[in-house]
Homo-oligomer: A and B are copies of this chain.
């Protein structure tokens, strides 16, 4: 039984990863080839020649103008995936066509529509969730992508329960208050969004923020999570000296804002692309702060990678029907599991569009 939701938009890559070199990535179990046309548009098509299944991303396959030439027998494809040349004959078989994918570049990402072949739904680009900070002059961004040898639901669990910051990321981003402070959780069933809030009024300032903001002493620290399953996770983080609250009107300029964005894209049933970006609205030009945040955020992500890869091997070795125990802090993660299970069910059983 698959746990991957289809008829959905997923982040396939950062726009900057795709250029005039053949680029391959497996998304939801499908090997996909990406390249930019000479006019700069991203194209996506199956990374498997229709003839003898050679991966078109592999040398000596090559890009020639706006066509891709297979490195095995020379089958040649255009930007729409249609075959334009085959060896030894001039007639091109009518069915010689690579599956092509709908892609949209937005907010620094290449989004791709992964459909369910047994129940195809037309992609609707207006439903792609937004992360405008990643592509805005008002923010400075550090980012990366770490491959996880773990199912995507383990990353969802991880991000939906930030109490782990206190333990797994102690000394970086966690302090005792994160685990100690209860959360509130809300689910917008119609929009398919989960909201989680943890407001710490008087908390220790972790090195991650003291170093980057320059705040000395204790802080007011807000974590507002907004998860649009399956792919886009936003953590709106507000840091200010204790007692400094947003003004009734006007900009919240006495606080520091960090927009943490994760895109969670299944590579296969048991591996995941973990795209992470951190946008800040302060010290925009300060290279030292940029380097510090890039380095430290990557360290924190890699702590998660180690833990989640380990959990995947634990699951692989455990008896069937093993039961976890959940507590109050798991409300958000459990809501996410419920929505995802509904989406898997819907994507494989009806023709209704899925939010």
Contact = CB atoms under 8 A, between A and B. Distances in A.
A88 B182 contact: yes
A325 B50 contact: yes
A73 interface: yes
Q: Is the interface of A mostly helix, strand, loop or mixed?
A: loop
A50 B326 CA distance: 9
- With most chain B CB atoms within 10 A of its CB, the pick from A93, A179, A181, A327 is A327
A231 interface: no
A170 B62 CA distance: 13
Interface stretch (A6-14, A129-137, A139-147, A161-169): A161-169
A72 interface: yes
A54 B159 CA distance: 15
Contact of A324 (B53, B71, B327, B329): B53
A153 to B, nearest CB: 11
A88 B54 contact: no
A74 interface: yes
A161 B72 CA distance: 10
- With most chain B CB atoms within 10 A of its CB, the pick from A29, A69, A72, A315 is A72
A307 B72 contact: yes
A96 interface: yes
B163 A88 contact: yes
Contacts of A89: 182, 327-329
B167 A53 contact: no
A334 to B, nearest CB: 12
A29 B314 CA distance: 12
A58 interface: yes
A55 interface: yes
Given A88-B183, A179-B73, A325 B51 contact: yes
A329 B317 CA distance: 38
A187 interface: no
Contacts of A55: 310, 314
A338 interface: no
Given A87-B179, A88-B181, A311 B163 contact: no
A48 B314 CA distance: 8
Contact of A327 (B51, B53, B161, B315): B51
Contacts of A326: 51
Contacts of A51: 324-327
A53 B326 CA distance: 11
A168 to B, nearest CB: 6
B88 A53 contact: no
Interface string A56-71: 0010100000000111
The 9 tightest CB contacts between A and B, nearest first, are A87-B179, A87-B163, A88-B329, A50-B325, A74-B167, A73-B164, A89-B328, A53-B314, A88-B182
